[in-house]
Amino acid sequence: MPTPNTDQFLQRFAAQVPDLRGKRICVGLSGGADSVVLLHALAALRDTFGLADLSAVHVHHGLNAAADDWQQFCRDYAQRLGVGFSAAQVQVDAGKLGIEAAARTARYAVFAEQNADFVALAHHRDDQIETFFLAALRGGGLRALSAMPEQRALTEKTVLWRPLLAFSRAEIEQYAQDNALMFVHDDSNENPAFLRNWLRGRWLPDLAARLPHYAEHLHSSIALLQEERALLEEVAAQDWQAVRCAQGLHQARWQAFSPARQRQLLHTFARQYGLGAPTAGSLHLWADWLRQAERGEWRLPRGRAVLSHGVLFAVPQDFALSWPWAGQPVQGSLHLAAQQAGLAWQGSAPQGAGCFRAARHDDELLTNIGHKNVFRLLQEKRVPAFVRPFWAVACDENGRCIAVANLRSAPELGQARLIAPDLLPYLPQAAA
Protein backbone atom coordinates (compact mmCIF):
# COMPACT_ATOMS: atom_id res chain seq x y z
CA MET A 1 0.00 0.00 0.00
CA PRO A 2 1.62 3.29 -1.07
CA THR A 3 2.33 5.72 1.75
CA PRO A 4 1.40 9.42 1.55
CA ASN A 5 5.09 10.19 0.98
CA THR A 6 5.20 7.69 -1.88
CA ASP A 7 2.07 9.16 -3.47
CA GLN A 8 3.55 12.65 -3.26
CA PHE A 9 6.84 11.45 -4.73
CA LEU A 10 5.12 9.73 -7.64
CA GLN A 11 2.91 12.75 -8.31
CA ARG A 12 5.98 15.02 -8.49
CA PHE A 13 7.75 12.47 -10.64
CA ALA A 14 4.84 12.10 -13.06
CA ALA A 15 4.34 15.86 -13.35
CA GLN A 16 7.78 16.48 -14.85
CA VAL A 17 8.22 13.60 -17.30
CA PRO A 18 7.82 13.98 -21.08
CA ASP A 19 5.06 12.29 -23.06
CA LEU A 20 5.98 8.61 -22.84
CA ARG A 21 2.99 7.03 -24.55
CA GLY A 22 4.14 4.16 -26.73
CA LYS A 23 7.78 4.68 -25.73
CA ARG A 24 10.35 2.07 -24.75
CA ILE A 25 12.22 2.90 -21.53
CA CYS A 26 15.39 1.15 -20.40
CA VAL A 27 16.68 1.92 -16.89
CA GLY A 28 20.38 1.76 -16.08
CA LEU A 29 20.17 -0.43 -12.98
CA SER A 30 23.29 -0.55 -10.80
CA GLY A 31 21.45 -1.98 -7.81
CA GLY A 32 22.10 1.10 -5.68
CA ALA A 33 19.28 2.95 -3.94
CA ASP A 34 18.89 5.57 -6.67
CA SER A 35 18.41 3.22 -9.62
CA VAL A 36 16.30 0.82 -7.55
CA VAL A 37 13.92 3.67 -6.70
CA LEU A 38 13.84 4.91 -10.30
CA LEU A 39 12.88 1.51 -11.66
CA HIS A 40 10.28 1.05 -8.90
CA ALA A 41 8.68 4.43 -9.69
CA LEU A 42 8.57 3.78 -13.43
CA ALA A 43 7.12 0.31 -12.85
CA ALA A 44 4.43 1.83 -10.62
CA LEU A 45 3.52 4.38 -13.31
CA ARG A 46 4.05 2.34 -16.49
CA ASP A 47 0.32 1.97 -17.15
CA THR A 48 -0.29 5.64 -16.36
CA PHE A 49 2.44 6.64 -18.80
CA GLY A 50 1.28 4.17 -21.45
CA LEU A 51 4.74 2.70 -21.95
CA ALA A 52 5.28 0.26 -24.79
CA ASP A 53 8.07 -1.42 -22.83
CA LEU A 54 10.00 -1.04 -19.59
CA SER A 55 13.31 -2.83 -19.13
CA ALA A 56 16.54 -2.60 -17.15
CA VAL A 57 20.18 -3.08 -18.05
CA HIS A 58 22.97 -3.77 -15.57
CA VAL A 59 26.62 -3.10 -16.40
CA HIS A 60 29.06 -5.50 -14.72
CA HIS A 61 32.35 -3.60 -14.44
CA GLY A 62 34.26 -6.38 -12.70
CA LEU A 63 35.83 -3.87 -10.29
CA ASN A 64 34.35 -5.15 -7.04
CA ALA A 65 34.44 -8.61 -5.48
CA ALA A 66 30.66 -8.43 -5.05
CA ALA A 67 29.98 -7.55 -8.72
CA ASP A 68 28.49 -10.97 -9.53
CA ASP A 69 26.15 -10.69 -6.54
CA TRP A 70 25.07 -7.22 -7.62
CA GLN A 71 24.19 -8.49 -11.08
CA GLN A 72 22.11 -11.31 -9.62
CA PHE A 73 20.37 -8.88 -7.24
CA CYS A 74 19.41 -6.66 -10.20
CA ARG A 75 18.16 -9.63 -12.19
CA ASP A 76 15.98 -10.81 -9.29
CA TYR A 77 14.68 -7.31 -8.60
CA ALA A 78 13.68 -6.72 -12.22
CA GLN A 79 11.94 -10.09 -12.28
CA ARG A 80 9.92 -9.20 -9.16
CA LEU A 81 8.76 -6.00 -10.85
CA GLY A 82 7.89 -7.81 -14.07
CA VAL A 83 10.52 -5.87 -16.00
CA GLY A 84 12.74 -7.16 -18.80
CA PHE A 85 16.39 -7.47 -17.83
CA SER A 86 19.77 -7.71 -19.52
CA ALA A 87 23.35 -7.49 -18.29
CA ALA A 88 26.61 -6.61 -20.00
CA GLN A 89 30.10 -7.31 -18.71
CA VAL A 90 32.72 -4.75 -19.72
CA GLN A 91 36.48 -4.43 -19.50
CA VAL A 92 37.58 -1.23 -17.77
CA ASP A 93 40.98 -0.02 -18.92
CA ALA A 94 41.93 2.93 -16.74
CA GLY A 95 44.75 4.13 -19.02
CA LYS A 96 44.98 7.90 -19.12
CA LEU A 97 41.33 8.34 -18.12
CA GLY A 98 41.46 6.87 -14.62
CA ILE A 99 39.14 4.20 -13.22
CA GLU A 100 36.05 6.39 -12.77
CA ALA A 101 36.13 7.94 -16.24
CA ALA A 102 37.01 4.65 -17.95
CA ALA A 103 34.14 2.85 -16.19
CA ARG A 104 31.77 5.63 -17.19
CA THR A 105 32.87 5.41 -20.83
CA ALA A 106 32.32 1.64 -20.86
CA ARG A 107 28.95 2.02 -19.16
CA TYR A 108 27.66 4.61 -21.62
CA ALA A 109 28.77 2.46 -24.53
CA VAL A 110 26.44 -0.26 -23.21
CA PHE A 111 23.61 2.24 -22.79
CA ALA A 112 24.03 3.33 -26.41
CA GLU A 113 23.41 -0.25 -27.56
CA GLN A 114 19.98 -0.53 -25.93
CA ASN A 115 16.90 -0.83 -28.12
CA ALA A 116 14.98 1.96 -26.38
CA ASP A 117 13.58 5.42 -26.98
CA PHE A 118 14.87 6.57 -23.58
CA VAL A 119 17.68 5.24 -21.40
CA ALA A 120 16.80 6.47 -17.91
CA LEU A 121 19.56 7.08 -15.37
CA ALA A 122 19.06 7.78 -11.66
CA HIS A 123 21.23 10.86 -11.19
CA HIS A 124 19.65 13.18 -8.62
CA ARG A 125 20.06 16.73 -7.32
CA ASP A 126 22.99 15.90 -5.05
CA ASP A 127 24.81 14.25 -7.97
CA GLN A 128 24.16 17.40 -9.99
CA ILE A 129 25.69 19.61 -7.30
CA GLU A 130 28.74 17.36 -7.00
CA THR A 131 29.19 17.51 -10.78
CA PHE A 132 29.03 21.31 -10.67
CA PHE A 133 31.73 21.58 -8.01
CA LEU A 134 33.96 19.05 -9.77
CA ALA A 135 33.67 21.09 -12.97
CA ALA A 136 34.50 24.32 -11.12
CA LEU A 137 37.51 22.78 -9.38
CA ARG A 138 38.81 21.52 -12.73
CA GLY A 139 38.43 24.90 -14.44
CA GLY A 140 35.42 24.00 -16.57
CA GLY A 141 33.51 26.47 -18.70
CA LEU A 142 29.79 26.92 -19.23
CA ARG A 143 29.26 23.43 -20.64
CA ALA A 144 30.88 21.79 -17.64
CA LEU A 145 29.37 24.10 -15.03
CA SER A 146 25.85 23.53 -16.35
CA ALA A 147 26.40 19.93 -15.21
CA MET A 148 24.02 17.21 -16.38
CA PRO A 149 21.05 18.02 -18.62
CA GLU A 150 17.79 16.26 -17.94
CA GLN A 151 17.77 15.00 -21.52
CA ARG A 152 20.34 14.72 -24.28
CA ALA A 153 20.78 12.65 -27.40
CA LEU A 154 22.59 9.38 -26.72
CA THR A 155 22.30 8.03 -30.27
CA GLU A 156 20.26 9.04 -33.30
CA LYS A 157 17.34 7.02 -31.92
CA THR A 158 17.82 7.10 -28.16
CA VAL A 159 17.59 9.91 -25.60
CA LEU A 160 19.52 9.83 -22.33
CA TRP A 161 17.04 10.84 -19.63
CA ARG A 162 17.64 11.76 -15.98
CA PRO A 163 14.17 12.05 -14.41
CA LEU A 164 15.36 12.34 -10.78
CA LEU A 165 17.39 15.55 -11.04
CA ALA A 166 14.71 17.47 -9.13
CA PHE A 167 14.89 15.03 -6.18
CA SER A 168 17.46 15.01 -3.38
CA ARG A 169 19.33 11.95 -2.18
CA ALA A 170 17.40 12.16 1.10
CA GLU A 171 14.03 12.08 -0.71
CA ILE A 172 15.11 9.05 -2.74
CA GLU A 173 16.33 7.20 0.33
CA GLN A 174 13.07 8.03 2.12
CA TYR A 175 11.11 6.54 -0.81
CA ALA A 176 13.21 3.37 -0.57
CA GLN A 177 12.55 3.16 3.17
CA ASP A 178 8.80 3.80 2.81
CA ASN A 179 8.54 0.99 0.26
CA ALA A 180 10.91 -1.41 2.04
CA LEU A 181 13.17 -1.53 -1.01
CA MET A 182 16.42 -3.43 -0.71
CA PHE A 183 19.51 -2.24 -2.57
CA VAL A 184 23.21 -2.96 -2.80
CA HIS A 185 25.93 -0.91 -1.13
CA ASP A 186 29.11 -0.07 -3.04
CA ASP A 187 31.80 0.66 -0.46
CA SER A 188 33.99 2.31 -3.11
CA ASN A 189 31.60 5.28 -2.93
CA GLU A 190 33.03 6.00 0.52
CA ASN A 191 36.68 6.04 -0.53
CA PRO A 192 37.87 9.65 -0.08
CA ALA A 193 40.72 9.03 -2.52
CA PHE A 194 38.17 9.82 -5.23
CA LEU A 195 37.46 13.54 -5.34
CA ARG A 196 33.70 13.11 -5.79
CA ASN A 197 33.54 10.92 -2.69
CA TRP A 198 35.54 13.46 -0.69
CA LEU A 199 33.14 16.21 -1.74
CA ARG A 200 30.13 14.08 -0.87
CA GLY A 201 31.36 12.75 2.44
CA ARG A 202 33.36 15.62 3.90
CA TRP A 203 33.22 18.98 2.19
CA LEU A 204 29.55 19.26 1.22
CA PRO A 205 28.26 18.26 4.69
CA ASP A 206 30.40 21.06 6.16
CA LEU A 207 28.98 23.46 3.57
CA ALA A 208 25.43 22.37 4.42
CA ALA A 209 26.10 22.99 8.12
CA ARG A 210 27.20 26.53 7.31
CA LEU A 211 24.62 27.24 4.57
CA PRO A 212 21.62 24.93 5.08
CA HIS A 213 19.86 26.04 1.88
CA TYR A 214 22.86 26.02 -0.44
CA ALA A 215 21.55 23.01 -2.42
CA GLU A 216 18.31 24.75 -3.42
CA HIS A 217 20.18 27.91 -4.41
CA LEU A 218 22.79 26.02 -6.38
CA HIS A 219 20.12 23.95 -8.11
CA SER A 220 18.57 27.23 -9.31
CA SER A 221 21.96 28.49 -10.47
CA ILE A 222 22.56 25.32 -12.47
CA ALA A 223 19.14 25.69 -14.09
CA LEU A 224 20.07 29.24 -15.16
CA LEU A 225 23.40 28.03 -16.52
CA GLN A 226 21.63 25.34 -18.51
CA GLU A 227 19.27 27.95 -19.96
CA GLU A 228 22.22 30.12 -20.97
CA ARG A 229 23.96 27.10 -22.46
CA ALA A 230 20.86 26.28 -24.51
CA LEU A 231 20.81 29.86 -25.82
CA LEU A 232 24.51 29.65 -26.68
CA GLU A 233 23.99 26.39 -28.53
CA GLU A 234 21.08 27.91 -30.47
CA VAL A 235 23.32 30.78 -31.62
CA ALA A 236 26.15 28.34 -32.34
CA ALA A 237 23.85 26.22 -34.52
CA GLN A 238 22.96 29.29 -36.59
CA ASP A 239 26.63 30.24 -36.91
CA TRP A 240 27.47 26.69 -37.97
CA GLN A 241 24.96 26.80 -40.80
CA ALA A 242 26.65 29.98 -42.04
CA VAL A 243 30.15 28.48 -42.26
CA ARG A 244 29.67 24.77 -42.89
CA CYS A 245 30.27 23.02 -46.19
CA ALA A 246 30.09 19.41 -47.30
CA GLN A 247 32.95 18.08 -45.16
CA GLY A 248 34.14 21.03 -43.10
CA LEU A 249 33.89 24.81 -42.80
CA HIS A 250 34.75 27.85 -44.92
CA GLN A 251 37.76 29.66 -43.51
CA ALA A 252 36.81 33.10 -44.88
CA ARG A 253 33.27 32.92 -43.50
CA TRP A 254 34.62 31.71 -40.17
CA GLN A 255 37.06 34.64 -40.02
CA ALA A 256 34.14 37.09 -40.19
CA PHE A 257 32.96 36.11 -36.69
CA SER A 258 34.19 37.46 -33.34
CA PRO A 259 37.00 35.50 -31.61
CA ALA A 260 34.60 33.97 -29.07
CA ARG A 261 32.23 32.77 -31.78
CA GLN A 262 35.17 31.52 -33.84
CA ARG A 263 36.23 29.30 -30.94
CA GLN A 264 32.68 28.11 -30.47
CA LEU A 265 32.51 27.21 -34.16
CA LEU A 266 35.71 25.19 -33.93
CA HIS A 267 34.30 23.34 -30.93
CA THR A 268 31.16 22.62 -32.97
CA PHE A 269 33.30 21.49 -35.93
CA ALA A 270 35.21 19.01 -33.76
CA ARG A 271 32.00 17.67 -32.21
CA GLN A 272 30.12 17.38 -35.50
CA TYR A 273 32.82 15.27 -37.10
CA GLY A 274 33.77 13.18 -34.07
CA LEU A 275 37.28 14.60 -33.76
CA GLY A 276 37.23 14.82 -29.96
CA ALA A 277 36.77 17.86 -27.74
CA PRO A 278 39.75 20.24 -27.68
CA THR A 279 40.81 21.77 -24.37
CA ALA A 280 40.16 25.46 -23.75
CA GLY A 281 43.84 26.27 -24.19
CA SER A 282 44.23 24.34 -27.43
CA LEU A 283 41.02 25.90 -28.75
CA HIS A 284 42.58 29.36 -28.43
CA LEU A 285 45.76 28.19 -30.18
CA TRP A 286 43.78 26.46 -32.93
CA ALA A 287 41.77 29.63 -33.60
CA ASP A 288 44.96 31.74 -33.67
CA TRP A 289 46.45 29.35 -36.22
CA LEU A 290 43.38 29.29 -38.46
CA ARG A 291 43.18 33.10 -38.60
CA GLN A 292 46.60 33.23 -40.28
CA ALA A 293 47.16 29.88 -42.00
CA GLU A 294 46.86 29.25 -45.73
CA ARG A 295 47.37 25.50 -45.52
CA GLY A 296 48.36 22.85 -43.00
CA GLU A 297 46.67 20.74 -40.36
CA TRP A 298 45.70 20.83 -36.69
CA ARG A 299 45.83 17.69 -34.55
CA LEU A 300 42.82 16.80 -32.41
CA PRO A 301 42.18 13.92 -29.97
CA ARG A 302 40.51 11.70 -32.58
CA GLY A 303 41.70 13.02 -35.90
CA ARG A 304 42.90 16.09 -37.80
CA ALA A 305 41.54 19.34 -39.18
CA VAL A 306 43.20 19.96 -42.57
CA LEU A 307 43.16 23.38 -44.24
CA SER A 308 43.16 23.26 -48.04
CA HIS A 309 42.13 25.98 -50.51
CA GLY A 310 40.17 27.93 -47.90
CA VAL A 311 38.27 24.97 -46.49
CA LEU A 312 38.95 23.32 -43.12
CA PHE A 313 38.31 19.62 -43.69
CA ALA A 314 37.57 17.07 -40.96
CA VAL A 315 39.75 13.96 -41.15
CA PRO A 316 38.73 11.44 -38.44
CA GLN A 317 41.11 8.67 -37.38
CA ASP A 318 39.08 6.14 -39.36
CA PHE A 319 39.08 8.30 -42.48
CA ALA A 320 38.54 6.31 -45.71
CA LEU A 321 38.30 2.96 -43.92
CA SER A 322 34.68 2.56 -45.01
CA TRP A 323 35.46 3.12 -48.70
CA PRO A 324 35.70 -0.33 -50.32
CA TRP A 325 38.13 0.74 -53.04
CA ALA A 326 40.53 2.32 -50.51
CA GLY A 327 41.70 -1.10 -49.29
CA GLN A 328 42.18 -4.07 -51.56
CA PRO A 329 41.16 -3.51 -55.21
CA VAL A 330 37.56 -4.48 -55.98
CA GLN A 331 37.83 -6.77 -59.01
CA GLY A 332 35.30 -8.11 -61.47
CA SER A 333 33.12 -6.80 -64.24
CA LEU A 334 33.49 -3.02 -64.49
CA HIS A 335 29.75 -2.87 -65.05
CA LEU A 336 28.72 -5.04 -62.11
CA ALA A 337 31.49 -4.49 -59.56
CA ALA A 338 31.00 -0.72 -59.36
CA GLN A 339 28.11 -1.04 -56.91
CA GLN A 340 30.13 -3.48 -54.79
CA ALA A 341 32.83 -0.81 -54.59
CA GLY A 342 30.37 1.91 -53.57
CA LEU A 343 30.64 3.55 -57.00
CA ALA A 344 28.38 4.11 -59.99
CA TRP A 345 28.65 4.80 -63.70
CA GLN A 346 27.04 7.81 -65.29
CA GLY A 347 26.27 7.00 -68.91
CA SER A 348 27.01 3.64 -70.55
CA ALA A 349 29.17 1.56 -68.23
CA PRO A 350 32.10 -0.37 -69.74
CA GLN A 351 31.46 -4.10 -70.06
CA GLY A 352 34.94 -5.57 -69.70
CA ALA A 353 36.75 -6.92 -66.67
CA GLY A 354 38.91 -4.76 -64.44
CA CYS A 355 39.06 -3.34 -60.95
CA PHE A 356 38.36 -0.31 -58.80
CA ARG A 357 41.09 0.88 -56.42
CA ALA A 358 42.74 3.91 -54.86
CA ALA A 359 44.88 6.13 -57.08
CA ARG A 360 48.64 5.59 -57.23
CA HIS A 361 51.38 8.12 -57.86
CA ASP A 362 52.37 6.44 -61.14
CA ASP A 363 48.84 6.21 -62.56
CA GLU A 364 48.45 7.73 -66.02
CA LEU A 365 45.13 8.50 -67.72
CA LEU A 366 44.90 8.74 -71.51
CA THR A 367 43.27 12.01 -72.62
CA ASN A 368 42.61 13.58 -76.02
CA ILE A 369 45.96 15.38 -75.82
CA GLY A 370 48.11 12.61 -74.38
CA HIS A 371 48.68 10.95 -71.02
CA LYS A 372 47.99 12.76 -67.76
CA ASN A 373 49.37 11.82 -64.37
CA VAL A 374 46.38 11.16 -62.12
CA PHE A 375 47.89 12.82 -59.05
CA ARG A 376 48.72 15.90 -61.13
CA LEU A 377 45.10 15.94 -62.32
CA LEU A 378 43.86 15.75 -58.73
CA GLN A 379 46.17 18.58 -57.76
CA GLU A 380 44.98 20.75 -60.66
CA LYS A 381 41.37 20.08 -59.67
CA ARG A 382 42.26 21.30 -56.14
CA VAL A 383 41.53 17.98 -54.49
CA PRO A 384 43.02 18.20 -50.96
CA ALA A 385 46.34 16.38 -50.64
CA PHE A 386 45.15 14.17 -47.75
CA VAL A 387 42.42 12.57 -49.85
CA ARG A 388 44.36 12.06 -53.11
CA PRO A 389 45.86 8.69 -52.04
CA PHE A 390 42.30 7.41 -51.50
CA TRP A 391 40.76 8.74 -54.73
CA ALA A 392 38.90 6.06 -56.67
CA VAL A 393 39.98 5.06 -60.16
CA ALA A 394 38.81 2.35 -62.57
CA CYS A 395 41.35 0.15 -64.34
CA ASP A 396 40.95 -2.26 -67.24
CA GLU A 397 42.01 -5.90 -67.11
CA ASN A 398 45.59 -4.88 -67.91
CA GLY A 399 45.74 -2.53 -64.91
CA ARG A 400 45.58 0.60 -67.07
CA CYS A 401 43.72 3.53 -65.49
CA ILE A 402 40.66 4.38 -67.60
CA ALA A 403 38.60 6.61 -65.28
CA VAL A 404 39.21 8.97 -62.36
CA ALA A 405 36.14 9.25 -60.14
CA ASN A 406 34.07 12.43 -60.51
CA LEU A 407 36.65 14.02 -62.83
CA ARG A 408 37.60 12.40 -66.14
CA SER A 409 37.47 9.24 -68.25
CA ALA A 410 39.66 7.93 -71.06
CA PRO A 411 38.35 8.74 -74.58
CA GLU A 412 37.50 5.07 -75.18
CA LEU A 413 34.71 5.32 -72.57
CA GLY A 414 32.90 8.05 -74.47
CA GLN A 415 30.47 9.89 -72.19
CA ALA A 416 30.73 7.36 -69.36
CA ARG A 417 31.85 8.86 -66.04
CA LEU A 418 32.79 7.08 -62.83
CA ILE A 419 30.94 8.57 -59.83
CA ALA A 420 32.11 8.21 -56.23
CA PRO A 421 29.48 9.89 -54.01
CA ASP A 422 31.73 9.68 -50.93
CA LEU A 423 34.37 11.79 -52.70
CA LEU A 424 32.11 14.58 -53.96
CA PRO A 425 32.48 16.65 -50.73
CA TYR A 426 36.20 17.02 -51.45
CA LEU A 427 35.77 18.78 -54.80
CA PRO A 428 35.93 22.60 -54.85
CA GLN A 429 32.36 22.98 -56.11
CA ALA A 430 31.09 21.10 -53.04
CA ALA A 431 32.69 23.74 -50.83
CA ALA A 432 31.27 26.67 -52.78
As to burial, measured by CB atoms within 10 angstroms (0-12 exposed, 13-18 middle, 19+ buried), residue 313 is buried
Q: Does 65 carry a binding-site annotation?
A: no
Q: Does 30 carry a binding-site annotation?
A: yes
- Determine the Cα–Cα distance for residues 120 and 52; give it in Å rounded to an integer: 15
Q: β-strands 24-28, 53-60: how paired?
A: parallel
Strand partners, 357: 393
Single-letter residue type at 172: I
8 Å CB contact between 261 and 287: no
8 Å CB contact between 32 and 74: no
Q: Does 139 carry a binding-site annotation?
A: no
Element (H, E) at 26: strand 24-28
8 Å CB contact between 287 and 221: no
Q: Does 34 carry a binding-site annotation?
A: yes
- Determine the Cα–Cα distance for residues 318 and 324; give it in Å rounded to an integer: 13
Element (H, E) at 265: helix 259-272
Straight-line distance from the first to the last Cα atom of the chain, in angstroms, rounded to the nearest whole number: 67
Angle at CA 388, nearest 5°, toward 385 and 392?
165
Q: Provide CB contacts within 8 A for 168, sequence distance 6+.
A: 124, 125, 126, 215
Q: Does 32 carry a binding-site annotation?
A: yes
Single-letter residue type at 207: L
**Residues placed in the known binding site for ATP:** 30-35
Binding residues: 30-35
